[in-house]
Structure 1
Amino acid sequence: MAKVRYLFCLYLFLASASLFAQEPSQPVRLELDFDYERTYAEVIALPDSSLLLYNKTVNSWGSEASFHFTKYNYKLDKIWSNSAEIPVRSHYLHYFTEAPYTYLIFGEETNAQKYHIVRINLLSGDLQYKEYGIEAIDAVFDFKVLYGRYFIIGRNRSSSQPLLLHLNPADGQIKLLPAVYGDESSFSDLMADPVNKRIDVVMTESNGRVSRLQVKSFDANGELLSNHFILQQDNKSLLNAEITPGDTTSRMLIGSFGTRDLRYTQGFFTTSMATNASDGQFYNILQLKNFLKYMKPRREARTRRREASRLKAGKNPKLRYRLLFHDLITTPTGYILPAEVYYPQYRSNMSSWSVNPYMAHNQGLYRNNTPTLSRGPDGYKRTHAVALGFDKNGVLLWDNAFPLINVVSYSLVYTLEVAYAPDGRVIMAYPEDEKIFYHVMKEDKFSDEKTELTLLTYEDDEKIVSSEEVGIIKWYDGNFAAFGFQHVKPKSGMSRKVFYINKISF
């Protein structure tokens, strides 16, 4: 049973206080009667300000399962619902929306070469489901769609190296696309650009000592349109990059560079695809106003003095940062590159869950990786998140930082969501139990104030006893959707266990 409650009147005082303090409000909440022990749920934001909820429910023995898809509008009112008959052992991997369809790809627990793709018409709710056998891979890292054709980055079942595949659903034909060549090569970005009728693939190529970037463009049929090498400048190795949409003359790469140790970022670069990296802009970390603001002021000052002295003496910097890029954000005036700064945590003589070889080499640029049991990091701790604003020519306009405390993931996936509001604010947020921690950036105006909100329930005297599988996604125009399972206890009467979605408006 679904129940939507609008919270405007009930929390009028709190909303007024939030408006005065420019804190986010929670105008509406949806509760669904899902059993946490038997239900997996995923919330997906759609381009028309609506949400798609996917939920899989299994029976008590795990021998049967139902797969449901429901669309809700911006007020969390149900628009339509449908279901698909997918094998019970299937699990959700990725989605991609190419209007008017959203595509969801599923893998099978018992057969790593079998995949299922559901195509949903977002207007009517009608869906089509097809099964594909992809013999070359045993895991999927990324999934994009261009004019109804599928592009998949997967793991080579023989060598564990990443592969780029093209799948035509009309005839089921699968072909391997020319992409990664050497053992030190990996993917950095995969972007569908329907306006310019192409898929852009950014690859990092390395021999272990230096690194460069290569950009390949394919049409919807998987035919190679162009191949572009981005050469390094002096002793700067290009590590990873995001590509902007646009035609041949306006496309840009925005990414990071290192020096001797290719594991660590020493700064950021931008370059036009019409030229090469030697004509681009390079910014080392010391040139950034707020990148080091996660430190205490005295430590930051010492670090800056030490690094400036090393650079003046011609020595290599000691700054060591690993970056997990988020998707590049296109704004009316340019671009914003968000990233999480992390370091791996180890315990001696321990085997733990770690990312697969492709994810580790690629610094985790894709979500939903399938972890493998191996000796490796026991977790990935974040020090801070950053955002860099550029104009359309790749000139750095500002940078800002969000200090993070005790934020750890056990595989290298995103721990926070980043949204761009119409008024130019950059909003970062992550969930923890019944709270949402957030940070609002106004270009380079730094603040280390800790900002958080507690998720609201239907009644002000209700208590959240426990929270499970909490999540948050960016939605539209500075709105987020927080979701998960909760055990809620009212002041009187019986408690309830629900799946909730709270709209959070900044």
Structure 2
Amino acid sequence: MVLFRYLITFLFLLLLFPALAQGPAQPVRLELPLDMEATDAEVIALPDSSLLVYYRVSNTWQTEASYNFSKFNHELEQVWSDTVNIAANSYYIRHYTEAPYTYFVFGEDDLQEYTFVKLNNKTGQLQHSHYELEPIDAVYEFNVLKGNYFVIGRNKKEKRPVLLHVNTSTKKVQLLPSVYGEESTFSDLLADPAQGRIYAVLSESNGRISRLQVKSFDAYGRLLNNRFILQQEDKTLLNAEITPGDSSQKMLFGTYGARDLRYNQGFFTTPVNTTMVDEEGNFYSMTQLENFFKYLKPRQEERTRRREAARLKSGKGPGYRYRLLLHDLIPFPDGYVMAAEVYYPQYRSSSSNWGLDRSFSLGRQEEAYKRTHVVVLGFTKEGRLLWDNAFPLKDVASYQLVHTVEVGRLPDGRVVVAYPKEEKIIYHIMDGSKFREEETELEILTYEENEKIQATFSPGIIRWYGDNFVAFGFQRIKPKAEASRTIFYLNKITFD
């Protein structure tokens, strides 16, 4: 009887194991014959479930270059392909999609010279125009509203962020009223085509206190509304994302701190009204979140929570010190998903650091930004917290403060957090507040089973449509009995 019971259990595990081991599907792979040494490439998900691949191919001396655009459908079949003739020293900076067009910004060696490319997503028809943006020497962000451009750039004299409007009909470039304080910056830029507005969220600081300001402009750069978001005495609003979509009732989802403006103490939500009637909004400290400290070992988490509870009871402020890099809000029918990467700077000591300005300096220099974990929160449309979750990150860092993970919501409500690591995709699927510490690996598949991936370069992954992501990058592939080939790959990844 005991033997029979063990046999039944063994057979059950044999049946269950494939289901447990089964990961996301990779139904389609596309390889493009691009030379890694001569090619820069970007992959862009379009609203119609297609993909746009931009790639620049140049010669060794960078004196000649072709700028290519190809559209692929949801099965990675090519729909059209075209090129644009612009200066060979042009380099891709940003893009923005306002259906039915995708717009690109290209910079040049002269930091005031920029080329804008307008691409019809349906036909592949291309137009380009050249502008001298005299006030700036760098572009940080780019939006389009009714064919006109809004650009956040760096003021070439004061080295502070500024907001530019480019009227594509009159070719007029104007500075818009925006940042005032020395330590002020932009937190978000969002176009709302249905309302005919563009919203700029500003984080204003004098080094001691900070506040948020929301400005809205029409398509021609005229200021429509200016709203200051007031705060509670013990809380300073640091950064925020404004809700996308067609709603006339906008919300801010962001972070707050206290005395030291470099560090975050929690998250807040608040409405952005067109009147001056103040509403406090909702505040959620990190100790209120169920899973924020789960990246720590259980004893460390318990000790941290016990220490913070004692500080709160004695009237002291929080002792934790976290820096957060916010992602764009992800809307769903009943609310929003908000994600943030938790990071800290890694330093190196230098006795002779020569910067771009050729100046000599001493002291610690930021070398990289190391991630500890990703925190993801679900909110109602009114800003009430539904759930929170976290995903510990191992050996994830970047030399610039840019997003290192991709976050996407599946149609069934689960959230995928994923990032590339050589020939693998490291991913984690969140189901509400149910915390799971383990990460899952997905091996990138080749065309044939007997092919071997010898190396992967510049890997990436983006959310695509529905429950699909796309992984991409350059690979050197070695077939069993043939010479190696170097290609640019696109692998569709479906999370069931």
TMscore range, shorter length: over 0.9
Which deviates more from structure 2 when the two are superposed, residues 345-354 or residues 456-465?
Answer: 345-354
User: Separation in 1 of the partners of 2:309 and 2:429?
Assistant: 30
Match of 1:319 in 2: 320
Quote the offset at 1:72 in angstroms.
Answer: 0.3
Match of 1:45 in 2: 45
User: Separation in 1 of the partners of 2:278 and 2:263?
Assistant: 19
Q: Is 2:366 the partner of 1:377?
A: yes
The residue matched to 2:305 in structure 1 has which SS? helix
Q: Deviations along 1:195-239, whole A, 9 cap, x unmatched? A: 111001110111211111000000101111100001110210000
Code of the residue aligned with 2:185 in structure 1: it is S
Instruction: Give aligned pairs, total.
Output: 473
The residue matched to 1:62 in structure 2 has which SS? coil
Code of the residue aligned with 1:495 in structure 2: it is S
Code of the residue aligned with 2:140 in structure 1: it is F
Structural RMSD (CA): 2.0
| 1:196–1:207 distance in 2 versus 1, CA, 3 Å | same
For 1:476, which of 462, 465, 472 is the aligned residue?
465
Q: Deviations along 1:404-458, whole A, 9 cap, x unmatched? A: 0100100100101111111111111100111100011111111011201110001
Q: Is the 8 A contact 2:203 2:210 kept in 1?
A: yes
User: Separation in 2 of the partners of 1:61 and 1:289?
Assistant: 55
Unaligned runs of 5+ in 1: 1-15, 357-373
| 1:25–1:350 distance in 2 versus 1, CA, 3 Å | farther
Match of 1:364 in 2: none
| 1:405–1:151 distance in 2 versus 1, CA, 3 Å | same
User: Separation in 2 of the partners of 1:81 and 1:247?
Assistant: 32
User: Separation in 2 of the partners of 1:421 and 1:351?
Assistant: 50
Larger Rg: 2
| 1:22–1:477 distance in 2 versus 1, CA, 3 Å | farther
TM-score by length of 1: 0.90
Code of the residue aligned with 2:264 in structure 1: it is T
| 1:489–1:503 distance in 2 versus 1, CA, 3 Å | same
User: Separation in 2 of the partners of 1:401 and 1:307?
Assistant: 19
Write out aligned runs for 1:34-433 (5 A): 34-108=34-108, 110-245=109-244, 250-274=249-273, 279-349=280-350, 376-433=365-422
Q: Deviations along 1:264-291, whole A, 9 cap, x unmatched? A: 0001111112377752111111000001
| 1:270–1:276 distance in 2 versus 1, CA, 3 Å | farther
Write out aligned runs for 1:13-28 (5 A): 21=21, 23-28=23-28
Code of the residue aligned with 2:310 in structure 1: it is S
The residue matched to 2:36 in structure 1 has which SS? coil
Q: Deviations along 1:10-45, whole A, 9 cap, x unmatched? A: xxxxxx987655621110100111111111111111
The residue matched to 1:306 in structure 2 has which SS? helix
Unaligned runs of 5+ in 2: 1-15, 358-362
The residue matched to 2:348 in structure 1 has which SS? coil
User: Separation in 2 of the partners of 1:463 and 1:51?
Assistant: 26
| 1:456–1:350 distance in 2 versus 1, CA, 3 Å | farther
| 1:409–1:150 distance in 2 versus 1, CA, 3 Å | same
| 1:102–1:246 distance in 2 versus 1, CA, 3 Å | closer
| 1:484–1:246 distance in 2 versus 1, CA, 3 Å | closer
User: Separation in 1 of the partners of 2:353 and 2:433?
Assistant: 39
Quote the offset at 1:169 in angstroms.
Answer: 1.2
Code of the residue aligned with 2:297 in structure 1: it is K
| 1:134–1:228 distance in 2 versus 1, CA, 3 Å | same
Code of the residue aligned with 1:400 in structure 2: it is N
| 1:352–1:69 distance in 2 versus 1, CA, 3 Å | farther
Q: Is the 8 A contact 2:193 2:246 kept in 1?
A: no
User: Separation in 1 of the partners of 2:356 and 2:327?
Assistant: 17
User: Separation in 2 of the partners of 1:354 and 1:67?
Assistant: 32
The residue matched to 1:286 in structure 2 has which SS? coil
Quote the offset at 1:491 in angstroms.
Answer: 1.5
Percent identical across equivalent pairs?
Answer: 58
TM-score by length of 2: 0.92
Q: Deviations along 1:303-343, whole A, 9 cap, x unmatched? A: 00001100110112111110000001111111111110000
User: Separation in 2 of the partners of 1:188 and 1:248?
Assistant: 20
Match of 2:3 in 1: none
User: Separation in 2 of the partners of 1:214 and 1:342?
Assistant: 25
Match of 1:434 in 2: 423
Code of the residue aligned with 1:175 in structure 2: it is Q
The residue matched to 2:434 in structure 1 has which SS? coil
